[in-house]
Amino acid sequence: MKNFFFGCIVFTLFWQSCQTKKNTPQTESDTTISNTPTTTVDSSKQKPINKQDSNVVTKPLQDPNTLDYISYYDRVYEISLKYPKTWRKELNKYVPFKITAPQEGTSDSMKENFYYVVFDETPDKNDILNKNKKEVLNLEQMKDKMITQLTMVKPNRKDTKVLSSNRVMINGTPAYEIISTGIINGFAMKYRICVIKKDTKQYYLYFATEQYTYDRYKPYADLLITSFMIK
């Protein structure tokens, strides 16, 4: 059981992030937050894009600070965050929360997405024989395990590289931010992963895009991650 949970986390990461775009209705429990427009994204700062997708991704994205937002609260894990109203929240049995960016065109087949996973280290009272022992990790161990799992060779991924691993603070809580790239199911992907440890829970935040769209969507990742709060 030592690496089972982390294997599941990384499998979920790659499986969830590499899917074609579709629209899923929002839930009624979310609340809209309106922001006043202030600035727009400077298109001159956009980097060159793959030719096959230039008709989609050369158009600047709207500054995330000018959008209307949905305020979300996870009652199970007592987590709150906000996300753009134009993004869609998906019902998903594998992760407690997942949102995807709107489709930008017919050739835009890869979902830019954000989701989180929570692992509770609290022993199961019904597991008398302790068959499903939960691994207790500190923040440093969580980071090291994640990097190890990311760089393991798997049939559906190759050329995985960890570009950076830095200690950060997310709303006053210590965390690690890991930036990784790789070829996943044929997509050249880039991930921004944050690991957080608070009390007996491990939190894993994922933001996934194709490599050539990462810089365009980075402001959205900043907004989503900085809005993530644990009660």
Of 16 and 154, more confident: 154
CB atoms within 10 A of CB 148: 13
Q: Binning pLDDT at 50, 70 and 90, where does residue 27 land?
A: very low
- By CB neighbour count within 10 A (0-12 exposed, 13-18 middle, 19+ buried), where does 222 fall? middle
Q: What is the pLDDT of residue 14?
A: 55
Residue 45 CA to residue 223 CA, distance in Å, equals: 19
Q: How confident is the model at residue 193 (pLDDT cuts 50, 70, 90)?
A: very high
Tokens for 192, please give them.
Answer: 């921004």
Q: Cβ atoms within 10 A of the Cβ of 124, count?
A: 12
Retrieve residue 213's tokens.
């769209």
pLDDT tier, 22 (very low <50, low <70, confident <90, very high otherwise):
very low
Please state, as a whole number, how many other Cβ atoms lie within 10 Å of the Cβ of residue 157: 20
Nearest to 208 by CA among 18, 12, 11, 20: 18
Average pLDDT estimate for 207-226? 94
Gap between the Cα atoms of 217 and 215, Å rounded:
5
Band (pLDDT 50/70/90 cuts) for residue 43 is very low
Q: How confident is the model at residue 17 (pLDDT cuts 50, 70, 90)?
A: low
Strands 69-74 and 201-210: unpaired
Span 95-109, average pLDDT: 83
Q: How confident is the model at residue 9 (pLDDT cuts 50, 70, 90)?
A: low
- CA 134/CA 137 separation, integer angstroms: 10
pLDDT at 152 over 90: no
Q: What local confidence, expressed as pLDDT, does residue 142 receive? A: 97
pLDDT score of 185: 86
Alpha-carbon dihedral of residues 209, 87, 26, 93, nearest 10 degrees?
Answer: 10
Q: Are strands 97-100 and 31-33 parallel, antiparallel or unpaired?
A: unpaired
- The domains of the chain, with CATH numbers, are 4-35+47-230 (3.40.1000.10)
Structure confidence by residue, pLDDT tens digits, 52-83: 454 555 567 888 888 899 999 999 999 999 99
